Structure 1
């Protein structure tokens, strides 16, 4: 971040003017390894104007953490969000170039497609491509020898592997879409919304064409607004079981602890911790199934809040990595009967969800799906492939030989 570079430079300037200043005051005496100073540590040493400018940056939604309590932040989840932001370019570029003939694009045109390729406007595409030498290169092709942004042979082989994987996982993806329709109001979702969130569920880019292969499950219609919507043909009671309901029998104690719907009481009713927990359990259970009809519930009732929390929990459990960005969840606001108080609702359920990222762009994690080190307990084959792909994306040119040998052994 820019403020980190500014803070580091300011600290170096202070130390050069005052050699007796102990640099450990910026990173904490208890820390064994030196770390970059935070902007808040440098504030006392700045002038009034610089301090005001830096404090304003710290309050920006681009920087301010979505977690209000710094002591409760889980660094492994924050690191996942940070990694996603760093690899946004290669992830979007893979999806975009894979749909073009020859998997290439004139470099002169690439700069105009910065949004589709996932990099900030005005930046050089060649710079971003150079960060991923094993997957992208800039060949000059005849007859005019103009440079192109194209996939490397290794990247082409990875695409073939992913295509074969998606074909093998197609029945599971069909089930996922059926369950999404079953938790949606009216049992219908606009196709554009599903296509926008396709990577969350491992759906192929041609998903909108693939659904026509399953007329017994899906029907495509046009709503009054002219949008193409995907409708559920027939309700399947066997699928109307949420992830929490499946886990209730083998691990009832964990499911009981997942959510917490408190009963407000005054100070005149002093309760010990055990008594308060038992009192809250009276309203926490029974839960409301996300497969029930949420339109029949009063919008601000306790049952309606249980329903909305359950829908988001089931939605996240259907994703590949058991997490989603908030804009993906808000995308289905109408279908899931969500309100404008979704953030406050999620914040009240810290046992079930963790919110990571900044106030402008944050993600929701399903905590029970992760180990203490931030790795998934169960990994979908597509997740395993994505991890391999991102490992290649982070390799340097000097590691090209090692990557090719590894690909031949695994392939």
Structure 2
């Protein structure tokens, strides 16, 4: 009796594989720089290494660290320069000093600690991280990330890449996960890690139907839109215009049935437009789970490779510039969810992002004659210097556009 349903599933899969074909027209979708979203990315330059160093210092009993002990951790902390120079670049956050010694004739090694303003921000941040409703919010977004996978589990080496963007505490394995035994359990992944040891990861204890609604579905529900033909919001920078034939194709693609990223749609033909819309939905939902609605492109690809999406994620970032923007600022490539921003400002600011903006404000305030002063003067000087050089420098985006156009 169980043979008939199986045959029906095989027949349905056969129909999907043969009747859903790729119809994307033979045209290049050019990459156009968005100065506002570039600024949103550039504003967070060095924020992640700064917070990593800050957390390391505050984890010490003395809340200080010798600079010599930080140097070996430069790669781990992603410091762009030496520890001493990095600390000197942010005098309103770090303070370098020589601690007193019992032997005055012997000079002590320089140490670094936080300034009083930075300590005050750290304490406010700690209060937020310890709030029960904040912890629940993080737990639900982490659970939704696991729900995007078929097995409802991810290895820790993948989760660690999402740690900062999800807003997980820096020591989340010890300080956060034990608080949610009804959500998560540590599991063996069944393969070796990069060092040849058994890989461990995080598994969802049970499927949570109350969380299995994507941002697209929630927004449509709020607007009273029903059915499966949900569309993605599209915004383009000033001066950007799709070719008419591309625009027509995108409109037809938007009218395809929307498949939730929390559904298993691997039965779709990999090269079909429907599968591509589903892949776009997965990336869209992934970015919506991040506190800043953006993340490094390589981390998007990392999840795509783990989910066996192949080139789908890469093509999605090229073909839908109205949904995703790839910025080439701060020596990396960052994928931004367009609809989450108005110019260079987040429309809805997560509580943790409000705290991070306070760190950014302190980072961008420079000391002049012993007094803090906004960085606007320095920025004007830089703009003047760049204008004097004349012409525009070729950025990494140009080369990236060439490579991606070949994929598309």
Q: How far is 1:136 from its partner?
A: 0.3
Cα distance change of structure 1 residues 359 and 386 upon mapping to structure 2, 3 Å threshold = closer
Q: 2 CA distance for matches of 1:222 and 1:275? A: 46
Q: Is 2:66 aligned against 1:106?
A: yes
Q: Name the one with the larger helix percent.
A: 1
SS at match of 1:105: strand
1:191–1:208 contact (8 Å) kept in structure 2: no
Q: Which of 242, 248, 258 lines up with 2:233 in the alignment?
A: 258
Give unmatched runs, 5+ long, in structure 2.
1-27, 102-106, 192-197, 236-242, 374-408
Q: Is 2:189 aligned against 1:223?
A: yes
Matched with 2:387 is none
1:311–1:336 contact (8 Å) kept in structure 2: no
Q: 1 CA distance for matches of 2:116 and 2:90? A: 13
Q: How does 1:6-405 map to 2 (within 5 A)?
A: 69=30, 72-87=32-47, 89-120=49-80, 123-143=81-101, 145-168=108-131, 169-209=134-174, 210-225=176-191, 226-251=198-223, 252=225, 256=231, 258=233, 277=248, 280-281=251-252, 284-357=255-328, 361-371=332-342, 373-398=343-368
SS at match of 1:291: coil
Give TM-score, length-normalised by structure 1. 0.70
Q: 1 CA distance for matches of 2:247 and 2:100? A: 75
Q: Name the count of aligned residue pairs.
A: 322
Of structures 1 and 2, the one scoring higher in RCO (CA 8 A, sep 6+) is 2
SS at match of 1:306: helix
Q: 2 CA distance for matches of 1:399 and 1:88? A: 28
Matched with 1:263 is none
1:137–1:152 contact (8 Å) kept in structure 2: yes
Matched with 2:379 is none
Q: 1 CA distance for matches of 2:64 and 2:266? A: 48
Greater mean alpha carbon deviation, residues 389-398 or residues 99-108:
99-108
Give TM-score, length-normalised by structure 2. 0.70
2:261–2:282 contact (8 Å) kept in structure 1: yes
CA RMSD of aligned residues (A): 3.2
